[in-house]
Structure 1
């Protein structure tokens, strides 16, 4: 019996001419509210940069400045070194070769998929526009929905239509505002992976706004973390995770236990043990942050705990699938410490335990300061 023919790969997305995007000293005011406070950042040509931060940190405002939907109060925006927004220059969005993808997808309900995707191709002849739209629709796997209306599509399919519409003009810069936030957890991983593959293929410079640190680490070549209108730290996921600039950054990427301590000799004493103070001088007031995933927990049958461990008692535990969260009371701590362990690591009836800390998950920050 003959085998079924191999499934044809999706058509390749047209490669764009990626642009370097630079923000120089960007300030933005909404009336008396100072939303962006001197942001300077360069996104390299072909790079995927994630703007990460809590609600109200300025992520979407910076994206809108890049798109030309907002005019900054001060500073400049440059594409490949050419000023597109500054004190005496302001190019509108249609002149900047940017693709926009919004959180709510912003599809026109009275237009078919094909009409939605063709909408931004007004500078092309009708036949060429139809061809470019069809190519983008096929690339996101929606060729069978070309004549469908948005209301019959799932959330994941609507997301792909919005992506096709943004890709069709082959922009030099793609701007995406929380593009996956409307998808359920089951869909999110697959749609995110498909989108990343398409962005890599088209090679456009891309900025993705997200409030999810794990999503930023999955997507971005680099991450810029914002807080209250300023960039707190920018770098690769590995750089930021292992060398956070301050406690805010560390807490954004990890669940932490924190303790106040004073450097005595060359170390700091905490309820979880004594740790090396590193470069911090004797007498310095520190916040000692320990990642919850950096605690090793073992059942304890009584007697003296093994060297390098402290005893504790489990007060609560929560099964989370592949992992489990424990709350453990220990001597000298004002509240239980939190530990995240593998779900099969500790017997269900374990109550008395010992805890040890992995050195790589201990972070020291000077109290009351924003630098590590």
Structure 2
């Protein structure tokens, strides 16, 4: 694919980005409550990622936004105007929304040019062809204008689907797991190219994903869903550094979790007494430590800190994943360290915890 910044690349037409808002949105399938009081405000031109496990309601919310699924109750607004409520239902073709599905949904009997111009029904043949060609050039597929989808690679089919969705210059782009079918080696470059195109078109964009790293790479903000509810909304930094609960924290980092007691700025844990940013009264808490926050060094005879023993070690390129046996810890302690930081023959180690990677969460029925 030609680089997105190539001087020869045609610029994608600019959209008039729309403000999108969901207010107290509910969706039922029979007795199942799929969406439970969704409130979300998306600014014009913003890229927001809907993140969550399978069955959390991400795709259902996308379908409601597109008009493919009527909500049970609540209101959808676009630019302050009701487009779906008890009184109003604007059909999908009237919403100025572009859709990109997980399987790309290209028509196999049509050329790439005809696929991309398919939705340009209000334009003349000459104008629709020109707009389609512009979109195709922008995603670097001009050499496949007359090809059929079956001769394209997965990455090329993804770009063709993106061109088709953007050709009508939608105010809102909705993308359902758009990179899930791509080869792992291609994902980073395709994501970056897609984001550059979305920025250029200025369309308000919702991306559905179950991959936290993908959400952090793409989204201006992230909305994390679980069981049909939005658990937390924020930037990637806010979600990582200030998670609302253990569920959020575990979605953005691999964790070691312990039961402990916090009292007046310190936490008593199986890894020793750790300083924490909590000066509250004594109480039981869940203590989470990111695997990247565990520092490990070869033990010496004079060491008196928290001692552990390496029980497993996995080389991952730039990093290594360690499993450590520690006295007083029932489960193996996991640590992610830079490759070759620890001598390969080291078995007995000293363990330290970085303060910034310690998080406290109140003990509840949900995370006990």
Q: Please, what TM-score do these two structures have when normalized by structure 1?
A: 0.95
User: Secondary structure of the equivalent of 1:190?
Assistant: helix
User: Secondary structure of the equivalent of 2:41?
Assistant: strand
Counterpart-to-counterpart distance in 2, 1:295 and 1:281? 25
Larger mean Cα displacement after TM superposition, 279-288 or 165-174: 279-288
Counterpart-to-counterpart distance in 1, 2:8 and 2:301? 61
> What is the CA deviation profile of residues 336-370 of structure 1, one whole-angstrom value per residue up to 9, with x for unaligned ones?
10000011211111111111111000000001167
1:321 aligns with 2:317: yes
> What is the CA deviation profile of residues 102-142 of structure 1, one whole-angstrom value per residue up to 9, with x for unaligned ones?
00000000000001001111111111111110100000000
1:40 aligns with 2:22: no
Counterpart-to-counterpart distance in 1, 2:344 and 2:275? 34
Shift of 1:20: 0.3
Q: Please, what TM-score do these two structures have when normalized by structure 2?
A: 0.96
User: Secondary structure of the equivalent of 1:51?
Assistant: strand
* Match of residue 26 from structure 1: 25
* Match of residue 111 from structure 1: 110
Alignment length (residue pairs): 363
Shift of 1:265: 5.1
Counterpart-to-counterpart distance in 2, 1:324 and 1:165? 42
Shift of 1:267: 2.4
1:76 aligns with 2:75: yes
* Match of residue 191 from structure 2: 192
Shift of 1:49: 0.2
> What is the CA deviation profile of residues 59-92 of structure 1, one whole-angstrom value per residue up to 9, with x for unaligned ones?
0000000000000000000000010000110011
From 356, 362, 367, the equivalent of 2:352 is 356
* Match of residue 85 from structure 1: 84
Shift of 1:51: 0.3
1:123 aligns with 2:117: no
Conserved? CA contact 1:23–1:75, under 8 Å: yes
Conserved? CA contact 1:266–1:282, under 8 Å: no
From 346, 355, 364, the equivalent of 2:342 is 346
Counterpart-to-counterpart distance in 2, 1:127 and 1:227? 47
Conserved? CA contact 2:264–2:279, under 8 Å: no
* Match of residue 101 from structure 2: 102
Shift of 1:285: 1.5
Q: Which blocks of at least 5 consecutive residues in structure 1 are unaligned?
A: 1-5
Change (3 A) 1:87 1:287: same
1:183 aligns with 2:179: no
Change (3 A) 1:88 1:7: closer
> Please, what is the CA RMSD of the aligned residues?
1.5
Shift of 1:194: 0.5
Matches within 5 A, 1:6-17: 8-17=7-16
User: Secondary structure of the equivalent of 1:289?
Assistant: strand
1:296 aligns with 2:295: yes
Conserved? CA contact 2:266–2:278, under 8 Å: no
Counterpart-to-counterpart distance in 2, 1:365 and 1:313? 28
* Match of residue 283 from structure 2: 284
Counterpart-to-counterpart distance in 2, 1:223 and 1:270? 32
1:52 aligns with 2:51: yes
> What is the CA deviation profile of residues 127-185 of structure 1, one whole-angstrom value per residue up to 9, with x for unaligned ones?
11111101000000000100000000000000000000000000000000000000011
1:168 aligns with 2:161: no
Shift of 1:268: 1.9
Shift of 1:262: 2.2
* Match of residue 269 from structure 1: 268
Matches within 5 A, 1:211-250: 211-250=210-249
